[in-house]
Amino acid sequence: MSIQADLSASVGRTPLIRLRHASELTGCEVLAKAELLNPGGSIKDRTALGLVLDAERRGELRPGGTIVEGTAGNTGIGLALIGASRGYRTVIFMPDTQSAEKIAALRVTGAEVRLVPAVPYKDPNHYAHHARRHAEALNAARPGSAWFANQFDNTANRDWHAATTGVEIWEQTEGRVDGFVCAAGTGGTLAGVGHALKARKPQVRIALADPAGSALASYVRTGELAASGSSISEGIGSSRVTANFDGAPIDLAWSIPDEESVPLAHRLLHEEGWCVGGSSGVNIAGAIRLARALGPGHTIVTVLADAGTRYQAKLFNPAFLHDKGIPVPAWLEQAFPAGTPARARAEIVQRAFAKAL
């Protein structure tokens, strides 16, 4: 019999799938790790597990303790589920600008969710600083009772992706991988996979797909943190260089506008059946750019980070997309008769996903 012992054992080892449209468009094999199939629904389950295992080994997370983290949502979901399976409480600080679907998904895990205003990292009221202070307060009252996960600057994040995600990509492609590309939030996935692949094949190209409004692409290209524009994508992009991102072996970087990435996410759903979030659209756009840069005949790998069901009110809302100047596909436009109220639009989307899933 093949039986997984618990939830932690079911994280990772996700399938590598061929993206038909991107492959046919570029003449390359464009492949994606289906990380939305992790038990918590995103690649951040890997990050959460790596951080927890490292903290347990170091004695920083003790039996019956409390996990505290600041997150845009997916890492919090992963930490809460893994925490529940291992006997920990979880307290999550989250910016109040995140999707209602993601906030609800986090709350149903049993985590204590504290929403705070979205402010830059340099502001002391940034959600990560709230989380750090809360963990410090818990430990002051009861030493050793809490652990601050610190996903952005705890390099156990990067190390775990090097040991798992990167190794899986190498094995699944039998070493025939020519390029890897994805967006960066903490930077753990891109840096970890980049280090793992470069160690095995130095000539592999590692690329950053950065959403508009993030400063990381500029940093890679010029050494300066500069940003312009904005994006509806959540959980990716940054205005600073995290410890996980620092030293990542990146060869190429692009700033990807929503007008390019969101239609790719829509097309993937309508033509290939994968319902993915905005960050996956950015990743696919980056994969197409990297494939074109390398030329036909190469194998490019990227990541489907999470599911589009966590962003229904944005990604699949014609009124919202029109307001942001993002193209709306005809099939989505037809689902909403002219003048449909916002609440009715949300109900239509929810019914459609309930039926499809």
Catalytic residue positions, numbered: 44
Give the integer Cα–Cα distance in Å for 318 and 332.
7
Q: What is the distance between the alpha carbons of residues 111 and 125, in angstroms, rounded to a whole number?
A: 21
Instruction: Extract the tokens encoding 34.
Output: 């289906």
Distance CA 265, CA 273 (A): 10
Residue type at 146?
A: A
Q: 292: how many CB neighbours lie within 10 A of its CB?
A: 14
Instruction: Measure Cα distances from 182 to 82, 237, 338, 345 in Å.
Output: 25, 11, 36, 31
Measured between alpha carbons, how far is 52 from 160 in angstroms, rounded to an integer?
Answer: 11
Return the amino acid letter for 104. A
Q: How far apart, in whole angstroms, are the C-alpha atoms of residue 61 and residue 144?
A: 8
C-alpha distances in Å from residue 163, one per residue of 56, 117, 141, 186: 17, 35, 36, 17
- Return the amino acid letter for 7: L
* Kind plus residue range of the DSSP H or E element containing 66: strand 66-70
Strands (E), 73-148: 89-95, 112-116, 146-148
CA distance 98 to 213: 16
Q: Phi then psi for 316, rounded to 5 degrees?
A: -120, 30
> CA nearest 286: which of 257, 326, 244?
257
Please identify which residue in the block is written with the tokens 């918590």: 40
